[in-house]
Structures are given as structure tokens and as C-alpha cells.
């Protein structure tokens, strides 16, 4: 059993047809084939969409993605067309191109943690990339690595794969270009974040192609979906970084920690839905998302 049945119905937006809802975003299409991406305040953990929302989360994810798209525009084109969106979803949505999306989660890692740490402990490598011995949870890698994953069905886990497996799915040229772009974007973002006192431990990107398939210098690839948000990335405060332990982070770790604590009374392996989040966990999670936006951009969404 997965936690997807409790995704609420997408709101009706005049002149836009709802086509899909994910864990966080609702997608619509207009008569011209353009897509409207609406970021909700939903939050997921352990493959469940939780019954409690995080106020302003959708606004933060959208604003941060748009800011990063601007920082990266000279490296790779993105799918944003317009911010002239319906008033009912202003601030949390963008109008984008309809792309043919590639079935690959393009993950870049500059630090060892999460599923990469688990793979390393088991095999000494991550996605076929052999790493030096003796690395700890939170260790900085000698250089960033491309560790792709296959995109799982909604509610299932992505599966880490090697570059050769990506090549088998999308072709060698495209696989190599995905790796190049992923690392180029990561290195730009990592430098920007570090300059602001934030470590970008890892992140994932999604790429698509315009339906025309027109060739370009980067194999026609377009950066899509969200980019470099606390939902798709691990951001750590640089002044608290200490390898050998889990790191404080600007994301939903408060939610995961509470759900796995005795206070929640929830067994994540029992197949039952998680309980509502307490107000203090909601507030602290919202504050971490807002702090990530403030530190990275130097801006505030509200006073």
C-alpha cells in the first residue's frame, strides 16, 4: 500500500485542463499545449503524502526554482515560458513548455549520505563509481559524481543505476550529455550555495526534449520540473558540517524525525497511513524551507 490515495483533488482552473497530480505538484494543459505547473503545500515522507500541509511551501519551491533557473540559464535552457498565471495560483505556479521527459533522475553528489552512503557501505561504490575507502556519513567527495536513478512509478522508490544502464535506455550520446550537464549545473550551484554558507550535498534534476527534437549544442536537452529546492536537494548549513554523523539540513528532516520517533506512534513498515503533524513540526519545517530560500537568494518572500 502507498500513501497516494489521499492526494486531494486538484483545483479547477478555468481554461486549463488538469492532466496529472504528483506528491507535490498539479499539472494542467491549455488549448495551445502549454503546461501549468502548480506547487501545492503538500509534503511527502517515506512514500506517503502526509495529511498535513506546510504553509507557503509551494510558494517557496516555485520562487527558488525560478531563481535558480536564472542562475543556470547560460549552462542549459529551461522550460519556463511565462509567469502570467491564473490569479488563483499566483506565486506558486509557472507556465512551461510541454517536453518529452527522459525517464532518468539525474543525481549529482558532492557529499556522501543517503542512498549513496548505503551503496558505498555495501560495495565501496555508488552507481558504479568507485570511491576511496574510509569515507563517513557526510564526507565531501574528492570530486562530484553523477549517480543517476531510474524514475519509479509514483509511490515507489527510484533505483540507482550506472551510466552504462542509462546509456542502454536513452543512448550513449544522451547519457553522456546528461552526466555533463548534471555535473556542470551542480558545480555552479554548489559554488553559489557555498558562498552563502550553505553546502549542497546532493541534488537531482530532470531533463526533457522539445517535441520537435531539434538538435542543439547540448543534445536538445532542457532542464525541467523543479530545480535545487529543499524537496529535490540536500542543503546543509556550512558552519554545522561535521562528517561522521547526520547533518542538520534545510528540508523536511524535522518531519522524518518526528514520524520515526515514539512521539508519532507510527510504524512506517506497518502499511498504515502516518498521523497528522503537530503544529511545532509544521512551523519548524516551514521555517527551514524559508531559511533555505533566504540564505541562497538573499531575498525574502514575506516580511
Q: pLDDT band at 211, cuts 50/70/90?
A: confident
Contacts of range 22-29, beta carbons closer than 8 Å, 24 or more positions apart: 22/154, 23/49, 23/154, 24/57, 24/58, 24/61, 24/231, 25/226, 29/98
Separation between Cα atoms, residue 99 and residue 97, nearest integer Å: 6
Separation between Cα atoms, residue 223 and residue 123, nearest integer Å: 31
Is the confidence at residue 217, as pLDDT, over 60? Answer: no
**Superfamily for domain range 17-96:** Phosphorylase Kinase; domain 1 (3.30.200.20)
Separation between Cα atoms, residue 250 and residue 240, nearest integer Å: 12
pLDDT of residue 208: 97
Instruction: Work out the number of other CB atoms within 10 angstroms of the CB of residue 140.
Output: 14
Residues 275-282: what's their mean pLDDT? 96
Find the Cα–Cα–Cα–Cα dihedral 25, 38, 286, 137, rounded to 10°.
40
pTM of the model: 0.93
- Tens-place pLDDT, residues 99-114: 999 999 999 999 999 9
Q: pLDDT band at 156, cuts 50/70/90?
A: low
pLDDT of residue 1: 46
**Strand residues in 138-177 grouped as ranges (E):** 140-146, 149-150, 159-160
Closest CA relative to residue 102, chosen from 252, 280, 13, 222 = 222
Percentage, residues of the chain above pLDDT 70 = 93
Higher-scoring residue by pLDDT: 215, 255: 255
Listed by start position, the domains of the chain span: 17-96, 100-240
Separation between Cα atoms, residue 283 and residue 124, nearest integer Å: 39
Residues 33-39: what's their mean pLDDT? 97
Higher-scoring residue by pLDDT: 159, 193: 193
Burial of 205 (0-12, 13-18, 19+ CB in 10 A): buried
Residues 79-88: what's their mean pLDDT? 98
All three cell numbers of 293: 530560500
- How is domain 100-240 classified at the CATH fold level? D-amino Acid Aminotransferase; Chain A, domain 1 (3.30.470)
Amino acid at each position: 500500500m502507498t500513501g497516494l490515495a489521499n492526494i486531494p483533488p486538484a483545483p479547477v482552473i478555468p481554461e486549463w485542463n488538469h492532466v496529472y497530480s504528483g506528491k507535490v505538484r498539479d499539472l494542467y494543459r491549455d488549448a495551445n499545449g502549454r503546461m501549468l505547473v502548480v506547487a501545492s503545500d503538500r509534503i511527502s515522507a517515506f512514500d506517503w503524502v502526509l495529511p498535513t500541509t506546510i504553509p507557503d511551501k509551494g510558494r517557496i519551491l516555485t520562487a527558488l526554482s525560478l531563481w535558480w533557473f536564472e542562475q543556470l540559464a547560460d549552462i542549459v535552457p529551461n522550460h519556463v515560458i511565462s509567469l502570467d498565471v491564473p490569479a488563483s495560483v499566483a506565486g506558486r505556479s509557472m507556465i512551461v513548455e510541454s517536453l518529452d521527459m527522459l525517464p532518468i533522475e539525474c543525481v549529482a553528489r558532492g557529499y556522501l549520505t543517503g542512498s549513496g552512503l548505503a551503496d558505498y557501505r555495501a560495495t565501496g561504490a555508488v552507481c558504479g563509481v568507485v570511491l576511496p575507502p574510509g569515507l563517513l556519513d557526510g564526507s565531501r567527495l574528492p570530486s562530484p559524481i553523477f549517480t543517476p536513478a531510474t524514475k519509479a512509478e509514483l509511490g515507489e522508490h527510484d533505483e540507482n543505476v550506472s551510466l552504462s544502464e542509462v546509456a542502454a535506455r536513452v543512448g550513449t550520446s544522451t547519457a553522456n550529455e546528461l552526466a555533463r550537464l548534471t555535473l556542470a549545473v551542480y558545480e555552479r550551484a554548489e559554488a553559489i550555495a557555498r558562498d552563502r554558507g550553505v553546502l549542497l550535498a546532493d541534488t537531482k534534476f530532470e531533463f526533457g526534449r522539445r517535441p520537435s527534437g531539434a538538435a542543439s549544442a547540448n543534445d536538445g536537452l532542457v532542464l525541467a520540473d523543479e530545480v535545487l529546492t529543499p524537496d529535490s536537494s540536500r542543503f546543509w548549513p556550512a558552519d554545522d558540517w561535521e562528517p561522521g554523523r547526520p547533518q542538520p539540513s534545510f528540508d523536511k528532516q524535522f518531519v522524518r524525525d518526528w514520524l520515526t520517533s515514539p512521539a508519532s506512534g507510527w510504524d512506517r513498515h506497518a502499511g498504515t497511513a502516518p498521523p497528522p503533524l503537530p503544529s511545532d513540526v509544521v512551523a519548524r519545517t516551514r521555517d527551514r524551507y524559508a531559511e533555505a530560500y533566504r540564505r541562497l537568494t538573499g531575498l525574502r518572500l514575506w516580511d
